[in-house]
Amino acid sequence: MFSKVLVLLLSMAATLLQGKDCALQIAGNDMMRFDKQVLQVDSACSRVTLTLTHSGQLPKAAMGHNWVLTKAADKDATVAAGVTAGPQHGYLQQGDARIIAATGMVGGKEQTSVTFSTSKLKVGEKYLFFCTFPGHVGLMTGNFLFTAASKAKPADKAKPANKAKPADKAKPANKAKPDEAKPANEAATKTMPSSATPSPQ
């Protein structure tokens, strides 16, 4: 039982050390355009599989596309060497050490893929991907970003809600001062008796 647990733990540790496999998708068309200008993976990916789809109709001989990854500084020399290599080599120089990864050349409605290790990539280095078919690189070039693995930040501790301030004690309403009964003017309030007018004798 113990040996089985040990094997399982070692297997899990090896998987963690190897990192994870990541996948990317990109397509090229008959207008000499990739559908993405930026691709990104992080350093948690130990291997990357990129799939290239030719979404157009034209054949490989007229409008072939491939996907090539190099350092930005190596792009122009890699393209020039590929043109010299010719179509029989997919416009890539055989054994070119500047190439980090590359697919084969495909025509309309075809698909290809390449799997490569990220061990050659460095965080902060500038990389480009492009197509080496003659005349395509001017329009079919994009940035490949290799970033540091993001670390999940612990959730912020919930701050206690502000305690509700006790309601202000209701101030007693100002007691209405009883109107002081002012004695009415007796002259005004008392009924004046009518003067008796003696009747004439």
In angstroms, rounded to a whole number, what is the distance separating the alpha carbons of residues 91 and 88? Answer: 7
Residue 56 has pLDDT above 80, yes or no: yes
Helix (H), strand (E) counts: the chain? 4, 8
Residue 22 has pLDDT above 60, yes or no: yes
**pLDDT at position 16:** 46
Cα separations in angstroms, 130 against 30, 60, 63, 92, 187: 15, 16, 14, 12, 115
Cα separations in angstroms, 35 against 53, 62, 161, 175: 10, 19, 48, 81
**pLDDT at position 82:** 98
Percent of the chain with pLDDT over 90: 64
In angstroms, rounded to a whole number, what is the distance separating the alpha carbons of residues 13 and 56? Answer: 44
* Residues 123-148: tens digit of each pLDDT: 999 999 999 999 999 999 999 999 99
In angstroms, rounded to a whole number, what is the distance separating the alpha carbons of residues 130 and 66? Answer: 8
The answer to whether the Cα torsion of 89, 90, 93, 97 is positive or negative is negative
In contact, 142 and 36? CB cutoff 8 Å: yes
Strands lying side by side in the sheet with 141-147: 38-42, 141-147, 127-130, 68-71, 101-102
- Check: pTM over 0.85? Answer yes or no: no
**pLDDT at position 150:** 78
Looking at every residue in the chain, the average pLDDT score rounds to: 81
* Residues 161-179: tens digit of each pLDDT: 555 555 555 555 555 555 5
Q: How confident is the model at residue 152 (pLDDT cuts 50, 70, 90)?
A: very low
Find the helix or strand (DSSP H, E) in which 115 lies.
Answer: strand 111-117
Residue 94: name the closest of 82, 105, 112, 106 by CA: 82
Percent of the chain with pLDDT over 70: 66
Measured in whole angstroms, the distance separating CA 163 from the mean position of its chain's CA atoms is: 36
Write the class of the CATH domain 20-147: mainly beta
* Residue whose tokens read 């084969």: 104
Domain extents for the chain?
Answer: 20-147
Residue 88, classed as helix, strand or coil, is: helix
